[in-house]
Each structure stands twice: as C-alpha cells, then as structure tokens.
Amino acid sequence: MTIAPPAPPAPFGDPERSAGVTPDGTVDWSAGPGDWPHIARELADDLATDAVEREQAGKLPLDEIARLRESGLLTLLVPAERGGAGVDWRTAYTVVRTVTAADGAVGHLLGSHYFLSHCARFFAAPDRVARIERASAAGQWFWGGGIASQEPPLLLAPAAGGYLLDGQQRYGSGVGVADRLLVRAAVPGTGEPLAVLVDPAHPGLVSGGGGDTFGRRLAAAGGVAFDSVPVAHDDVLGSLSADDGALSPFAGLAAPTARLVSAQFCLGVAEGLLGEVREHGRAVTSQGPPFSPQPWQGGGLSQDPYRQDPYRPDLYVVTAYGELAVTARAASALADQAVDALTRGLARGENLDDEECAEIAVLASAAEAAAARAAQDITTRALDAVGTSAALTRHGLDRFWRDTRTHTLREPVAHRLREVGDYFLNGAHPPFSLPA
C-alpha cells in the first residue's frame, strides 16, 4: 500500500487566484485581512508540491524566502501607513500554521520573522519603531537571529558613532538568509541585555555552525560570530532585562507572543501530517473487511476491541485517526483561547497591568505545552496507523516527526508546565523568558 500524492495545485501567483500578487509580480496591498489566509493557502499548496524533495536536498532556502517575499506575507504585520498589510497577530498566526502544514522549516522561518520583526513594538521608542518598520517594508526585509533568554549575550561596546558588537551567538533562525538580524547583546559593566538590530552584510559577521540538525533542515539556522561589527545608536531597540519592573507589562507580552508562534508551528506540523496520511486511511477503510495486509497493530493507542479483530483493520484505522483528530482539536482550541487573550492584551497597550500580562503568559505557556505534546503524539502515532509504508523515503513522512523533535528539544515542555503549575498553585507570575 502506497500513499497517493495530492493533486497538483494551480501555480502560485496565478492572477485569477491570488489576491495579493499582481500579474507583474508586485504586491497588491489592497488585499484585505480576509485575503491573507487565502494567499497563505496558495503559497502552502505551492510549497507542498516539492516539499519532500526540497527537504531532502537541504539547500539554503533562498528560493523559499523569495516566494514569501513575492507573496507579500513578509510585511503582514507592518501598519498600512508604513508600507505593510496592517493585519493583526490572529491573521499572522493563521498564516504561520498554514505554511507550516506544508513545509515545517519555511513555516518556522516565517513565524520567527514575524516575531523578530515585531519586537521593535515591544522594546523600542515609537519614533524608532516607525523608522524600522518603514525601512523593513520598503526593503522587504526577511528577519532572522534570535533574542532567547538562554542565549549568552554578545558584548556591545561603545565606539565612535555608536557601538561595536563582538561575540558568538550559538543559535539563530534564518541566519544564513536574513536581510537583518535581531540579537541579544549586553553593555560591558552593567550587563543589561539589549535587543540589537544588525545588518549581516558587514564583513565582521560570519554565520555557520550549529545548524546541522536532523529536522527543520531548510531553516538556515545556526551560530553567528561577530567581530567588531558596527551598530548605530538607533539600531539598539531597548532593554530585554528580566528584572522586576525593568519592562512594562506591554513589553512583557513579547514572551507569550513568541510562545504562540511556537504553538502554531507545532499545530501546523501535526495538521500537515494528518492531512497527508488521511488519504492512506481512506484507502484502507474503503477496502472493507477482510482487507489485508493490515496497518501496524502494536501498542501506542488506547485499548480498543477492534484491534483484536484481524478481519477489521479498517476499524482500527478509524479509531486511530479519531484519537489523533481529538488530540489536534483540543490543542487547537486551547491555542485559540490564548490568541484571543493575547489579542485583547495587545489592544490594551500601555494600559495593561502585571496581573493581566501574567494571565496571558500562563495561557500561552499552556497552549504551547499542549501543542508540543499533540505534535509529538500525532507525528509518532499517525505513522503507526499508516504502517510500514510510512518508512518509505519517497513519502517523506518522517520529516514531520523530525521537525517536531528538533523544535521541542529547543523548547522543552517541562519548562512551560512548571510555569503553569507555579501560577496555579502559588499565583507566581511566569519569568520573562523568550524562546529560541
């Protein structure tokens, strides 16, 4: 039994289908908020046609970034008056999840780009935010790097006209293809961590190393070395200090915003695999009893009398997919609740208080934990339901499991569960912690 490939979609960018790209390839900014999920679906259909081949080749995602740029999705969160689409995070999360379902690495790149390019709104002064967003939209910048709390900060030493940046960042997203990097740095003496914007074209910057992972092969991730890289005063966004009172409650929303990018990635991977193996399940159940050979009949699913009936593997498959669908829907519902809470918090702006920020952060941590567990569960057990044909390289189903494990190894579920538990038992606010 083999898995039938999906029917090829219409070409991406077809003017009759795309609401965001004109026939000459430029972006049509008249697309409304409701059009962007459709544009993301077109891009996802395009990526899905050769996702297996591209993932197995493992090349730098230059073509993939070009597709994102042509679609207009890179400037989704930039206000319309500054050259972007001006949509909210709810739409951005939908886009990330849609793209991830087709190509996990590209979805991760896009989600990281959205968070990093939006960080100026959390940490920088309004005039600096306006300047950066206009430049980003005009140049169609793709953002990479990372400001993870666990990342040792680089050193930002004062120099004539600004600063010099030195040190080694162990891991950053999209560092091999980014137009701008956002990194974590500290001023010698005080040690205060700062968010710093860097142009990777400077000769003192060298990317590479640490990105040879078994999953998310197209994420262009890895380490970056900085050797006296110049940084202008205006490219220092602001403080990332986790000390009490150092950040406003609104700035504290950066953490749950990033956590929900992670949750959408996990849900996208899980839903992408379920979509691909669904056709296999339909093929098995359509045979009816006494169909043979059977899918895998080992452990891992709840006890079900159908599993004991060698003449009804079709019912085993139905039960398996029922359990996996429930797992995905439950995690998705929790993520939707967290997105609703975050959307309300962002709308409050500087009127947000500490308790409201903590509630949003806890809900986002719970959603990320649930999505990560769902993705781990689904990307293992869905392959069990498919059976031995899931191991065939040409299907590429293993990429969903590898993408999930690579992601969850960097963002352990245990950390989020501890935050949720401490808040539930003791009312403790989660620490300000940004993910990789």
Residues 6 or more apart in contact with residue 18 via CB below 8 angstroms: 12, 39, 42, 71
Average pLDDT on 8-28 reads: 40
Residues 6 or more apart in contact with residue 21 via CB below 8 angstroms: 13, 15, 27, 28, 39, 70, 71, 72
Average pLDDT on 76-91 reads: 96
Mind listing the domains of the chain with CATH numbers? 36-141 (1.10.540.10), 145-239 (2.40.110.10), 249-426 (1.20.140.10)
With residue 237 as reference, give the H or E element that holds it.
strand 236-239
Radius of gyration of the chain (CA): 22
Closest CA to 224 of 210, 240, 238, 203: 210
By three-state DSSP, how is residue 228 classified? strand
Taken in order 35, 36, 42, 45, the sign of the CA dihedral is negative
Distances (CA, A) of 166 to 174, 287, 334: 20, 63, 41
Categorize the per-residue pLDDT at 17 as very low, low, confident or very high, splitting at 50, 70 and 90.
very low
Distance separating alpha carbons of residues 130 and 29, to the nearest angstrom:
19
Percent of the chain with pLDDT over 70: 81
- Could you tell me if 432 and 252 are in contact, meaning their C-beta atoms sit under 8 angstroms apart? yes
Categorize the per-residue pLDDT at 198 as very low, low, confident or very high, splitting at 50, 70 and 90.
very high
Q: What average pLDDT is seen over the chain? A: 84
The pLDDT assigned to 15 comes to 32
> Strand pairing of 143-146 and 180-186?
parallel
The pLDDT assigned to 175 comes to 86
> Strand pairing of 205-207 and 222-232?
antiparallel
The pLDDT assigned to 161 comes to 85
The pLDDT assigned to 2 comes to 35
Categorize the per-residue pLDDT at 242 as very low, low, confident or very high, splitting at 50, 70 and 90.
confident
Highest mean pLDDT: which range of 18-22, 135-139, 200-204, 314-318? 135-139
Cβ of 392: how many Cβ atoms within 10 Å? 13
Categorize the per-residue pLDDT at 173 as very low, low, confident or very high, splitting at 50, 70 and 90.
confident
What letter would DSSP give residue 309? -
Cβ of 26: how many Cβ atoms within 10 Å? 10
Categorize the per-residue pLDDT at 10 as very low, low, confident or very high, splitting at 50, 70 and 90.
very low
